[in-house]
Amino acid sequence: MTQDTLDDLLLRDAHIQTVKPMLWASLALAVAGLVGLLFKAMPLTLIGWIGSWLAGPMALSRLAPALGTSPLLKYPLFLGCAMPGLSLAAPVYGLLASRSLQQTAQQALTQHEARERRREREARVQPAPAAAASVAAAPPRSAVEALPVLRLVAAGIGDGAELQLRIKSPPPGMTVPADAELPPVRASHDVFGVGYHLDAGSHWVSVSRQEMKEAGLSLDQLHQRSLANLTKLVKGKPGLRVIGDPEQASYRGLLLDGDHEACLVLLDALWDQVLKPHTPHGAVVAIPSRDVLAFCDAHSKEGIAQLREAAARIKPDAKGALSQQLLLRRQGRWELFKG
């Protein structure tokens, strides 16, 4: 199983856990309606029938994308929610299918962690000949622990290629040789230039090409490893939080760790599965700085206007500033928003 597949499973499982309370409520209402029907208790029958009619389709519509439920199954389950007795089918299906996916995700994670431990043991016992001489001199940090950092937002830069960046205006008193080798930056999603950095305690340090080589990683492998580390951060504690009151604003925000919020645009499964219920017509996203990510549905004119206002508050020369341009997520792809 590839790292991308594992990350997708974990993100889908995280989304399913948020829907489970609604599934249990739908099941309880369906049972109440059936009990009321059997014992001719009309108030209980009506409460259970109407409640399961509302809660069942809502829970199933949020769950179906994560489970990959076929329309041939989903729509009959929707119809069944309107019928006492048959309204049990939707929550029972949702709970059983989500349990199966959770077990699959847990098993895949356990297998992945076992493989990683085995590789680490083998690397310690039998270091590669080319790297053996440099093991003792290796720095305490390792590129395998890197997290992504957005360096650039621009249209048409491709995906997978290394970007050659140059420092045009170094800070006063700093001299940069013409042949200076800057840290690697990779194009991603045809919009983002992604760099990689490590936590040095009080600050972040960019991963150098030397550190990348010492870890035995290509640029693509470093990119995938950093996304896996970002996914672990999303799954950790306190983890990813969706913030904002829909009654006060037409957009929402994502809160992670105060350093990597903007990088969440790199996690496809997050937008195509977990956040899909918030943006059924596609997502419009603002990432004015590396610690800010706000989004709204692509059909929300008010939300888009509010995102523009929020992005304009962070000036291009502010610390950590990234881009005042809004982004559009549509059909699994990012592009600069032109609306």
Helix, strand, coil tally for the chain in percent (to 5): 50, 15, 35
pLDDT digits 0-9 by tens, 53-69: 999 999 888 888 878 88
Q: What is the pLDDT of residue 308?
A: 93
Q: What is the pLDDT of residue 112?
A: 64
Contact between 55 and 29 under an 8 Å Cβ cutoff? The reply is yes
Q: What is the pLDDT of residue 9?
A: 63
Q: What is the pLDDT of residue 124?
A: 55
DSSP 8-state secondary structure symbol assigned to residue 149: E
Q: What is the pLDDT of residue 192?
A: 97
Strand partners, 149: 195
Q: What is the pLDDT of residue 144?
A: 93
Q: Give the burial string for 167-186 (b: 16+ CB within 10 Å, else e).
A: eeeeeeeeeeeeeeebbbbb
Q: Please report, rounded to a whole number, the percentage of residues in the chain having pLDDT higher than 90.
A: 55
Task: Indicate the domain borders of the chain.
Answer: 3-103, 142-235, 241-336
Q: What is the pLDDT of residue 170?
A: 56
Q: What is the pLDDT of residue 16?
A: 78
Which two structure tokens, joined as six digits, stand for 307?
A: 């995102």
Low-confidence ranges of the chain (pLDDT < 50): 131-139
